[in-house]
Amino acid sequence: MEENEFKKIWQDYDLALERSTAINLQSWAMLAACRTEMQSIRVVSRMEKLSVFKRRAILLGILWVLLLVTLIYLTGSNNPFFSVSAGMIALISLISMGQYLHQLWHIASINLGMPVTQVQNQLVRLQLSTIRSVRTAWLQLPFYSTWFWSLHWIRTSPASFWAIAFPIALGFTWLTICLYRNIQIGHMDKKWVRRLMMTGPEYKTLEEAQDFLRQLQDFDQ
């Protein structure tokens, strides 16, 4: 077959598509212009889907931080361990929310009318940036093992504190450092890292995104 023949077949394909009654898009302009109708159709923009998870996470994060701040306020200076631990958890949650907000801003600033490789690069890097939020979130871990500490406990039962609670907190700290150093795109080949990151719905996209980034880089060469 000659090249021109392929192109001729491809052009004739226009007619086949026109004849096909599969798609009735006569009302697309009306649908596009009318927000309520847009919401009623089956299609929900995939770009919007991408941001829904982050919006929900931010909303939950705000509620979580509000709860922690209220508890810190209510307990006052009764227990400094609780105040510091809850305060650190709230601070790290706020940083995670900031990262999510930054990602949402990136989503909103993507212009689909830009060249394909440029837009796809932005999208894939946005997906991969999720990993930063995961790393940050893990930093909270040691503080979940210290919020119930108290000076009274240390004074009255030093054995149980130094033999159990303190080593557990140290273990969590070591685990956090280990996770923080390993949870990055370059380490996704490690089985345990992959398992850990691929559990949430958001992280299933990471492996595919990394693969697609390689394709983009090859395509650009």
Partner 1 sequence: MKIQPDRDRFSILLEGCRPMVYKIAHSYCPSREDMEDLVQEIFLQAWKSFSSYDPEQKFSTWMYRISLNVAISHYRSKKRQGALLSLEDYRSDLADPAVGGQSDESAARLQQLHQLIAGLPALDRALMLLYLDEKTHAEMADILGISLTNVSTKISRIRMLLRQQLSPIKK
Q: Could you tell me the CA-to-CA distances from 46 to 28, 52, 104, 107 in Å, in that order?
A: 18, 10, 14, 11
183 CB neighbour count, 10 Å cutoff = 20
DSSP H or E segment with residue 29: helix 28-33
Smallest distance from partner 1 to CB 213, Å: 11
Q: 54 by DSSP, 3-state: which?
A: helix
Residues that bind partner 1 (CB under 8 A): 1, 3, 5-7, 9-10, 12-20, 22-23, 25, 28-29, 31-33, 38, 41-43, 45-47, 111-120, 123, 204-205, 208, 212, 215-216, 219-221
CB-nearer residue toward partner 1: 29 or 74: 29
Given the complex with partner 1, which of 160 and 215 has the nearer CB atom? Answer: 215
Nearer to partner 1, 17 or 159 (CB): 17
The neighbour count for residue 211, using CB atoms within 10 Å, is 11
Q: Decide if 193 contacts 178 (C-beta within 8 A).
A: no
Closest CB 216 distance from partner 1, rounded Å: 7
Q: Smaller CB distance to partner 1: residue 67 or 114?
A: 114
